[in-house]
Chains A and B, each alone.
Chain A
């Protein structure tokens, strides 16, 4: 699975959009970009994933660059409950069981 690079921490004001970047310059053509988050002391939670098109669901939007070497997770109206560690993971769909979480980005939403 391709490696990813994320900033270790970010801050965001409550009610504003949180934009979390991820670099995956060695991504292969059949690898998807997945985002998970882990709120303190809880199990990781799936947010969204995509292959090359932008995706949106009830939690977030995912913007993938045309060359697929980077992506941005957008939380449109961040709340205090969005404070968590966000992990960007690149893997093939149906691939090996191992999820390489890395260290992620610690997002702190401030009141």
Chain B
């Protein structure tokens, strides 16, 4: 199993450009999440999904859109990039089955710079 795969690993955008950060998992996990990590700030939840067709906002959702059309994929869209969105983005997934340990599995991250 590949686990949680994020693409691209690095990206540089100009202010106002749009892009999609891709996240895919092959563990059949129901829950998927997006976090951003800034220096000295820890990880902050952007959006999450409890299953295909269901998404909800985290603590810092502004400027980001998500959708969950399949169990495997959970893309994060930046509609109009701003320098404040320069960060490292992590995607995570976990199972939601009775008896599961509620363990989150994280991708390797996407490092985004907005100039």
Contact = CB atoms under 8 A, between A and B. Distances in A.
A43 B42 contact: no
B96 interface: yes
Interface in B46-71: 48, 50, 56, 58-59
A49 B43 contact: no
Interface string A84-111: 0000000101110111011110000000
Given A46-B105, A104-B42, 19 more contacts: A32-B102, A43-B4, A43-B92, A43-B107, A43-B109, A44-B43, A44-B104, A44-B106, A46-B104, A49-B102, A49-B103, A93-B101, A95-B102, A97-B45, A97-B48, A99-B43, A99-B92, A99-B104, A101-B42
Nearest to A102: B42
B108 A43 contact: yes
A43 B102 contact: no
Interface of B: 4, 31, 33, 40, 42-43, 45, 48, 50, 56, 58-59, 88, 90, 92, 96, 101-109
Contact of A97 (B31, B101, B109): B31
B90 A98 contact: no
Contacts of A46: 103-105
A30 interface: no
Interface of A: 32, 34, 36, 41-46, 49, 91, 93-95, 97-99, 101-104
29 contacts: A32-B102, A34-B103, A41-B88, A42-B108, A42-B109, A43-B4, A43-B90, A43-B107, A43-B108, A43-B109, A44-B90, A46-B103, A49-B101, A49-B103, A91-B102, A93-B102, A94-B96, A94-B102, A97-B45, A97-B48, A97-B50, A98-B45, A98-B48, A98-B59, A99-B45, A99-B92, A99-B104, A101-B42, A101-B43
B58 A98 contact: yes
